[in-house]
Amino acid sequence: MIPFDYERADSTQSAVKSIGTRGAKFLGGGTNLIDLMKLNVERPSTLIDVTRLELTRIETSTSGGLLIGALVRNSDLANHPQVVANFPLLSQALLSGASPQLRNMATTGGNLLQRTRCYYFTDTAFPACNKRIPGSGCAAILGFNRIHAILGQSDEGPRSPHSCIATNPSDMNVALAALDATVHVESVSGKRNIPLSKFHRLPGTTPNLDTNLKPDELITAIELPPSPFAKNSWYLKVRDRQSYAFALVSVAAGLEMDGSTIKSACLALGGVAHKPWRSPEAEKALAGARPTRESFLHAADLALSGAKGYAGNAFKIQLAKQSIVRAFTLAARGTTAGAEA
């Protein structure tokens, strides 16, 4: 590990002031950042420890939704009574991620900033990775790409400085996308709110950037609006083993029912793109439909209509479609009933 300085911030103001130091990074739970520092992928000049800041509350927001402090631990968030009762999709997604030990350490703000687990990104022995070394190419396109993207990727060939087919590894982010979350951030210039749909980004021509957060901004909270999906939602995660594994495909699905008709739906996919993949086309198609296998299949076809697979991950297209049908089928049975299915 390369030497670095360490500072402990005692207020949000002092933290955002300190981040002006060139190459500095905020340290929360450290469950991803420290790993990447050990691998020589992340090389901050200074770590600004923000774990003592007063950002640990979960409270009702002014709109009647939920305001979640950026330093709330993943396990505390997943098990909070208001989250379990009103946002079970988020609770389920959090509990499907990592291991109990990691969830006890990982913070909400840090989870938003998890970096890809692309093998070529985390292993500095590989010289071609536009995310780690801008302009170096993308080894994954012709390499081992089982866990990589099928939607929204940037693919101009393995040598292009723009190419990247990495995926966002978080489960929490998928549920937050489906639930229309907003991220609150602060810097010395002031405060702003970023809709989750605009927080993470597709690789485009700058695959080194995962989010639209500015380097000097600190995440202070995540806000959830009141959700109509609590009674009928499901987070389905498909992975190579049942525990402590990232999603090959995950689905956050919610239905707002009006009798036997779907009034509205939310759908976001994980493990398939550089950001949580929301599908407004599928959601629109489900509004006013009956909760049948045919309706869910039609929505799945729409959600995957632009998908492109590679040698190692083309199976994900069909897997994602089947997972969408399964997640909506379980959601339609009721959030609790789905758990017993």
Q: Which stretches of the chain bind ligand SF4, using CB under 6 A?
A: 116, 118, 120-121, 129-131, 138-140, 164-166, 207
Least Cα distance to 327 among 178, 158, 153 occurs for: 178
Rank residues 169 and 338 by Cβ distance to ligand SF4 and give the closer one. 169
Alpha-carbon distance of 27 to 30, in angstroms, equals 6
Give the angle subtended at the CA of 203 by the CAs of 93 and 248, to the nearest 5°.
35
Minimum distance from residue 143 beta carbon to ligand SF4 (Å): 7
Three-state DSSP at 259 gives coil
Minimum distance from residue 308 beta carbon to ligand SF4 (Å): 14
Q: What residues have CB less than 8 Å from 62, skipping those under 6 apart?
A: none
Minimum distance from residue 32 beta carbon to ligand SF4 (Å): 14
- Return the C-alpha torsion angle 326, 195, 117, 313, nearest 10: 40
Least Cα distance to 148 among 121, 185, 123 occurs for: 121
Going by their DSSP bridges, the two strands 182-187 and 190-195 should be labelled as antiparallel
Three-state DSSP at 157 gives coil
Alpha-carbon distance of 311 to 142, in angstroms, equals 8
Rank residues 117 and 333 by Cβ distance to ligand SF4 and give the closer one. 117
Rank residues 165 and 178 by Cβ distance to ligand SF4 and give the closer one. 165
Rank residues 121 and 328 by Cβ distance to ligand SF4 and give the closer one. 121
Minimum distance from residue 271 beta carbon to ligand SF4 (Å): 14
Minimum distance from residue 207 beta carbon to ligand SF4 (Å): 5
CB 208, CB 2: distance < 8 Å:
no
Residue in this structure with the two tokens 């080194």, named with its chain if needed: 208
Minimum distance from residue 104 beta carbon to ligand SF4 (Å): 28
Alpha-carbon distance of 44 to 61, in angstroms, equals 34
Minimum distance from residue 139 beta carbon to ligand SF4 (Å): 5
Provide the token pair at 224.
């959830």
Rank residues 60 and 212 by Cβ distance to ligand SF4 and give the closer one. 212
Minimum distance from residue 121 beta carbon to ligand SF4 (Å): 4
Rank residues 116 and 335 by Cβ distance to ligand SF4 and give the closer one. 116
Residue in this structure with the two tokens 């809709």, named with its chain if needed: 195
**Sign of the torsion formed by the C-alpha atoms of 164, 167, 173 and 175:** positive
Alpha-carbon distance of 336 to 53, in angstroms, equals 36
